[in-house]
């Protein structure tokens, strides 16, 4: 937990220093125009029609901007995004991120009576973690309502597709995705079983 909090402080400082001006100048209208080519996979307003692609609506602006720039610069490999953002400037990334951040987030609905044991395990992991496994509470970085922390570049999770959340955790666990600050998500995901990942993913889908 100390490592997590230290990384949070470092990340907040770095983001504040490096991107404050770009974030302040972000233009949602310009972002909406630039994002037209994104609609096929992520939906016209950021609600994706396919579980293969994440919802972007309501996502933390800083997180979306970072992912766009990381993909553009080769720091995050997403085959489906090949060539899609190659011509984006940093300001384009922030403009698009602001557009999506201003859209209404997807609201997932989970039947509490459907696999109640799995949902209970997901809630336990999300709110309290599993100290025996060394897994911290997800809520520490993603907030109790799953909205994330923009100043620390920690994403919103609420309403995200179960399949997408599970595949993301699997990628972090296998270090196939490695653009997380200070290895935070790689360290955490590597300690999670497949059942843990499924449980958390199902829980956050209906969290808001």
Same domain (yes/no): 138, 201:
yes
97 plus 121 within the same structural domain = no
Integer-rounded Cα radius of gyration of the chain? 17
Instruction: With respect to residue 107, please indicate whether it lies within any of the assigned structural domains.
Output: no
In a domain, 6, yes or no: no
Whether 137 and 196 map to the same domain: the answer is yes
Q: 100: Cβ–Cβ under 8 A, 6 or more apart, which residues? A: 31, 35, 46, 56, 57, 58, 59, 61, 64
pLDDT confidence band for 160 (50 / 70 / 90): very high
**What pLDDT, on the 0 to 100 scale, is given for residue 20?**
81
Give the burial string for 131-156 (b: 16+ CB within 10 Å, else e): eeeebbbbbbbbbeebbbbbebbbbb
pLDDT at 7 over 70: no
85: in domain: yes
For residue 2, being part of any structural domain is answered with no
CATH of the domain at 190: 1.10.760.10
Q: Which of 28, 38, 36, 47 is nearest to 84 (CA)?
A: 38
Q: What is the pLDDT of residue 145?
A: 97
Which pLDDT does position 19 carry in this prediction? 75
Query: What's residue 180's pLDDT?
Result: 97
Range of the domain at 186: 116-205
In a domain, 62, yes or no: yes
Task: Assess whether 193 and 145 both reside in one domain.
Answer: yes
pLDDT tens digits for range 44-62: 999 999 999 999 999 999 9
Per-residue pLDDT averaged across 177-206, rounded? 97
Q: Is this structure's pTM higher than 0.85?
A: yes
Q: Is residue 106 part of a domain?
A: no
Do residue 48 and residue 96 come from a single domain?
yes
Predicted pLDDT of residue 8: 52
| pLDDT for the residue numbered 18 | 61
Last residue of a domain, one of 101, 130, 147: 101
Query: Are 91 and 133 part of one and the same domain?
Result: no
Q: Are residues 94 and 134 in the same domain?
A: no
Query: What pLDDT is recorded for position 24?
Result: 86
Position 112 scores a pLDDT of: 81
- Give residue-wise pLDDT tens across range 65-115: 999 999 999 999 999 999 999 999 999 999 999 999 999 999 998 888 888
Stretch 133-139: mean pLDDT, rounded?
98
| Lowest-confidence segment of 2-6, 38-42, 118-122, 172-176 by average pLDDT | 2-6
State how many domains the chain has: 2
Looking at per-residue pLDDT, the higher value among 128 and 14 belongs to 128
Residues 125 and 200 in one domain: yes
In a domain, 30, yes or no: yes
Residue 104 DSSP symbol: P
The average confidence (pLDDT) of the chain is 92
Q: Do 57 and 122 have their domain in common?
A: no
């Amino acid at each position: 937990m100390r490592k997590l909090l230290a990384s949070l402080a470092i990340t907040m400082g770095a983001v504040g220093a490096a991107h404050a001006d770009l974030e302040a100048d972000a233009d949602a209208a310009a972002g909406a125009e630039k994002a037209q080519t994104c609609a096929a996979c992520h939906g016209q307003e950021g609600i994706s029609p396919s579980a293969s692609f994440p919802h972007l609506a309501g996502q933390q602006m800083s997180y979306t901007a970072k992912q766009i720039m990381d993909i553009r610069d080769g720091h995050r490999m997403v085959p489906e995004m090949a060539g899609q953002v190659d011509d984006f400037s940093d300001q384009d990334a922030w403009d698009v991120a602001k557009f999506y951040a201003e859209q209404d987030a997807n609201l997932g609905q989970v039947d509490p009576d459907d696999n109640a044991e799995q949902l209970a395990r997901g809630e336990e992991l999300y709110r309290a973690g599993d100290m025996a496994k060394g897994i911290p509470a997800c809520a520490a970085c993603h907030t109790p309502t799953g909205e994330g922390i923009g100043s620390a570049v920690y994403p919103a999770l609420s309403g995200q597709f179960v399949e997408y959340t599970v595949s993301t955790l699997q990628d972090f666990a296998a270090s196939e995705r490695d653009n997380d600050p200070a290895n935070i998500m790689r360290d955490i995901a590597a300690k999670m079983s497949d059942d843990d990942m499924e449980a958390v993913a199902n829980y956050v889908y209906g969290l808001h």
